[in-house]
Amino acid sequence: DVICRYVNGIGAVQGGAVLASFQDVTHLEQAVQMRRDFVANVSHELRTPLTALMGFIETLRGPARDDPAARDRFLAIMEGEAGRMNRLVGDLLSLNRVESEERVRPKDQVNLTGTLEETITSLRPLAEGAEVQLSLAAPEEPVFVIGDADQLRQVFTNLIENAIKYGGRGGRVDAVLSASDRDPAVRGPAARVQVIDKGPGIDPVHLPRLTERFYRADNHRSRELGGTGLGLAIVKHIINRHRGRLRVESELGQGSVFTVILPR
Ligand code: ADP
């Protein structure tokens, strides 16, 4: 798209619109720079677990060779690091897919109520492991939107998983679905899904950048919890594809509310 605009821009120069072409070159440079940053980020993210794996292989060959207890401990850590790489590659592939589909309008009738129920059911074990109470409130009548069911399930999974992960042990996470005939956010009939946690919240300075790839509000916590830093970037592209909106409200020490607004 950027290259197309660039070429159109050159056409415009011949037609006399010099300003348009300057803007388009800037777009192109920005896109090239973003790609470079992305490749650097991905390399760094992959290298971290890889370095750990290589270090542990070395240790298993050397000092820990005859120590079964140490060997088991190191193998468990290695498994965790390999899992991290696997999640990262999985999320990179998802991001690639959702980006490439962003311009194709989804066209299935999706039962949002059912999709949310399925998501909650599949996340129950994670919630139970973290001693988090997970609830869904929805209108009696199922709520439908035109969309892509798998992608919307991915949106709710990422948001609810984050709420469980960051919300903290022993807390609660509420998903609330509602529908209205006119929602100002999309200027028409819409469905809203709110994911509410009572966790530590997010410092407001981070909110504008939260959906950028690899942006983390709390780097240490995200890595400790096995986050890839791509979950909200994936969410953003899927919501864009659905012509929807994502809102984040958060207060330190109070918790966070992630709201997805989808046109109906
Ligand atoms: P990650 O894989 O790191 O969780 P995401 O893209 O899903 O990446 O989220 C980006 C960052 O936003 C996280 O690293 C975390 O700092 C912050 N975040 C997301 N959801 C929450 C939440 N419910 N509570 C607190 N912080 C959150």
Rounded to two decimals, what is the model's pTM?
A: 0.88
Q: What is the pLDDT along the chain (264 residues), one digit of tens a residue?
A: 444 444 444 444 455 566 666 677 888 899 999 999 999 999 999 999 999 999 999 999 998 889 999 999 999 999 999 999 999 999 999 999 999 999 999 999 999 999 999 999 999 999 999 999 999 999 999 999 999 999 999 999 999 999 999 998 999 999 999 999 999 999 999 999 999 999 999 999 999 999 999 999 999 988 889 899 999 999 999 999 999 999 999 999 999 999 999 999
pLDDT of residue 6: 47
Residue nearest to atom 23 of ligand 1 (CA): 163
pLDDT of residue 19: 66
227 lines ligand 1 (CB under 6 A): yes
11 CA → ligand 1 middle, Å? 43
* Side chain identity at residue 176, one-letter code: V
Check: complex ipTM more than 0.90: yes
d(CA 137, CA 149) in angstroms, rounded, equals 19
pLDDT of residue 9: 47
Q: Find residue 245's DSSP bridge partners.
A: 261
217 CA → ligand 1 middle, Å? 7
d(CA 47, CA 209) in angstroms, rounded, equals 24
227 CA → ligand 1 middle, Å? 8
pLDDT of residue 15: 53
85 CA → ligand 1 middle, Å? 18
- Pocket residue to mutate for ligand 1, from 84, 98, 126, 162, most atoms within 8 A of Cβ: 162
54 CA → ligand 1 middle, Å? 28
pLDDT of residue 14: 54
pLDDT of residue 18: 65
216 lines ligand 1 (CB under 6 A): yes
